[in-house]
Structure 1
């Protein structure tokens, strides 16, 4: 029996060492797991946006680079907070559709993403997001906030701190730490995760009407995240759930038509 106890103790020690090692590795390298900040920057000249121009917005310790086009007279501007992958410029077809329907837009890369130099962190992303709103507000048009995936965090934060006409959240997380806990259930992510993006706390201070779009087959951010976040919104407008849609399927599923209807409702309230 003694050797059995020793064997069990040895196994427990090995498990503890492996667990601590895995946790330490994840802690040290967590931002490389959390962010996908590589990709090509599409030249504005290559996009079907002849009325847009490149902008550089100074932020303390950084400059964020993006594109801006003012709206048609009497129309609002969409302040677009990109998702996690690559550069904002890859989504130029979305911006072209905004413009075709009279909306203006401002889209940019957070510091550390392809078009903007710097180091990625939650604090930096939130500071960049607020600076982009403040720059857009100076242009004088009504502002609609759109946050996609990772961008749902800064979008929700900005809506809790500034006044816009509407907040649209595409495939949002309840919080980034919620997604991490779902993905790595055996790790103590609540204790060691640096960039937690607690949208579940920020949204309680959002007074703008809120539209949430999600797909039931989302393998990146589970649909329950969007459902739970929507339930916390003080001024919910619509929860649009698309059966069998994955994380990047909503635009093709008709999201823009849904967004336009939402924006029109929000502007006439």
Structure 2
């Protein structure tokens, strides 16, 4: 019995060490760039690295910067944002997009992968993503009359950081959480997550500094970010500042396949002007 107890303790300690050592490999899943939807057409040098990506509907008075999820190849959103901006109608027949009376024709959409993602150099960490995002914002903002932000999953943590530090027209949070630390606790409740975790993405701590009208989009059957984690973030916003859309039937990774998702994103802009 004593030897069994020691075995359990050893397995627990080894597991905790492995979780600590490899936590960033578990949090970030960089995807290589794919050119099948269009070659990169934009490049920015920030904090010693050059980040290249895509701009959809360039040259418009307003801008939208999109921050992707931890395993998202953000160029896969190119058809979606081309549709929203009316930049092209190609492929619409093959995609589940709804008929829209309004489109964001006046918005340029920036899809710039994080460092370490999409063949960009560097290694992602919370602080690197924050610093890069603010530096990108500062380069993009002078080109436009206003800038809005949209962050999905992990990207919602980046979006709230920038929205708390810079003037933002609209803020759209897709499958967001209150903090990665609390998300990790739900999965790894048996470990001292607070002590082990390096990158915590505590969006809930920044809500008071966010003044932009905010739209939260939730997947009804999200198996990654629980509804409790999203609701814990929403409750910190003033009621009049936040609008919430729940996409019926959607899961964390297929949200964009539901027509109501496009409608919710459009509504985030049209209902707050």
Normalization by structure 2: what TM-score?
A: 0.86
Equivalent residue number for residue 54 of structure 2: 67
Equivalent residue number for residue 87 of structure 1: 73
Query: How many pairs does the alignment contain?
Result: 253
Larger mean CA deviation between 216-225 and 155-164 belongs to 216-225
Higher relative contact order structure (alpha carbons within 8 Å, sequence separation ≥ 6):
2
Counterpart among 188, 206, 229 of residue 210 in structure 2: 206
Equivalent residue number for residue 172 of structure 1: 176
Measure how far apart 1:113 and its partner are.
1.0
Q: Secondary structure at the match of 1:245?
A: coil
Distance 2:234 2:54 in 1: 30
Distance 1:141 1:95 in 2: 20
Q: Check whether the contact 2:213–2:242 (CA below 8 A) recurs between aligned residues.
A: yes
Counterpart among 34, 44, 61 of residue 42 in structure 1: 34
Q: Secondary structure at the match of 2:172?
A: strand
Q: Check whether the contact 1:216–1:222 (CA below 8 A) recurs between aligned residues.
A: no
Unaligned runs of 5+ in 2: 87-102
Equivalent residue number for residue 91 of structure 2: none
Distance 1:27 1:197 in 2: 16
Quick one: structure 1 residues 67 and 38, their matched pair in 2 at CA, closer, same or farther if it must change by over 3 Å? Answer: closer
Measure how far apart 1:69 and its partner are.
4.2
Structure 1 residue ranges, 4+ long, deviating more than 3 angstroms after superposition = 69-73
Larger mean CA deviation between 247-256 and 155-164 belongs to 247-256
Higher Rg of the two aligned structures: 1
Q: Secondary structure at the match of 1:256?
A: helix
User: How large is the RMSD of aligned CA atoms in angstroms?
Assistant: 1.9
Unaligned runs of 5+ in 1: 1-6
Matched, 1:21 2:14: yes
Equivalent residue number for residue 4 of structure 1: none
Distance 2:8 2:206 in 1: 38
Equivalent residue number for residue 240 of structure 1: 245
- Deviation by residue 1:195-231 (Cα, 9 ceiling, x = unmatched): 1100110122111111111122111111222222111
Normalization by structure 1: what TM-score?
A: 0.87
Measure how far apart 1:232 and its partner are.
1.0
Q: Check whether the contact 2:46–2:136 (CA below 8 A) recurs between aligned residues.
A: no
Measure how far apart 1:98 and its partner are.
3.1
